[in-house]
Amino acid sequence: MAQFITLPPVYPILDTATLDRLGLDWVSAAEALIEGGAQILQIRHKSFWSRDAFSLAEKITGLCRSGELLFVINDRAVYAALLGAALHVGQEDLTPADARRVIGEAAILGHSTHSPEQMKEAEIWVAAAGSTNPARGQGGRSSLIDYLAFGPVFPTVSKERPDPTVGIAGLKAVRALTRKPLVAIGGITRDNAFTCWNAGADSVAVIADLYPNPCTKITLRDRMTEWQRLAASKK
């Protein structure tokens, strides 16, 4: 069972709306990110999960398994379970306890927070121990959540109704509230990533600054490589 994970410094988000707008197919984009050195990959698909969408996600699952990457589904617990993927849920999705019931005890589960109050509530879920399956009794995983995200640290254009910006001071403050791996989210670019890492973030989630314009498989791969070099320079 997953009890503790180490997140890579860069957490790329395969945002399907962005890819569709830029005219790059999902599988090619996933290949580019993997070739560029990605060590984790989340697919963020806010639209309807059609049969074609699921088929593409299934292909990306295979790519991540072949490359030994952690593959994460955003929001949709059922699809994460069907694909054998990790799951990331937000404040408006299933609760961590309900999400865990769907994906099982072995899968990785991440959870987004946007204020110190939400982080404190998340820590209650983190501390929830024992099996989530009553038929199995107690003695399951040590917590329901494997990692936490916090933000938006900076203004973001990737979310239709973003929560209030928390800033670097807010990120520093919540770092002291959890021992779980912490992902900084919201408006993070190559220019401000170091401030997030220095504030205590283990990883930075990237959407907008991940996709160059024009966005081709080659330019996307090169941008991912650039992000990996940046992360390597902080060590």
- Please, what are the domains in the chain? 10-233 (3.20.20.70)
15 Ramachandran zone, left/alpha/beta (phi>0; psi -120 to 50): beta
Condensed to tens digits (0 to 9), the pLDDT of residues 33-63 reads 999 999 999 999 999 999 999 999 999 999 9
The total number of residues written for the chain in this structure:
235
pLDDT of 158 strictly over 80: no
- Distance in angstroms (rounded) separating the CA atoms of residues 184 and 170: 11
- Distance in angstroms (rounded) separating the CA atoms of residues 72 and 12: 10
According to the model, what pLDDT value does residue 167 have?
A: 97
- Distance in angstroms (rounded) separating the CA atoms of residues 186 and 149: 10
Condensed to tens digits (0 to 9), the pLDDT of residues 159-183 reads 667 789 999 999 999 999 999 999 9
| Distances, alpha carbon 176 to alpha carbons 45, 122, 202, in Å | 32, 13, 13
Confidence of residue 216 (pLDDT cuts 50, 70, 90): very high
pTM of the model: 0.93
Q: Averaged over 13-38, what is the pLDDT?
A: 97
Condensed to tens digits (0 to 9), the pLDDT of residues 66-99 reads 999 999 999 999 999 999 999 999 999 999 999 9
- Cβ burial 86-105 (10 Å sphere, 16+ → b, else e): bbbbbeebbebeebbbbbeb
According to the model, what pLDDT value does residue 137 have?
A: 34
| Bond from prior residue into 116 cis (ω within 30 degrees of 0) | no
Supply the angle between the helices 217-233 and 26-35 in degrees, to the nearest 10.
40
Condensed to tens digits (0 to 9), the pLDDT of residues 87-146 reads 999 999 999 999 999 999 999 999 999 999 999 999 998 887 644 443 333 346 778 999
pLDDT of 206 strictly over 60: yes
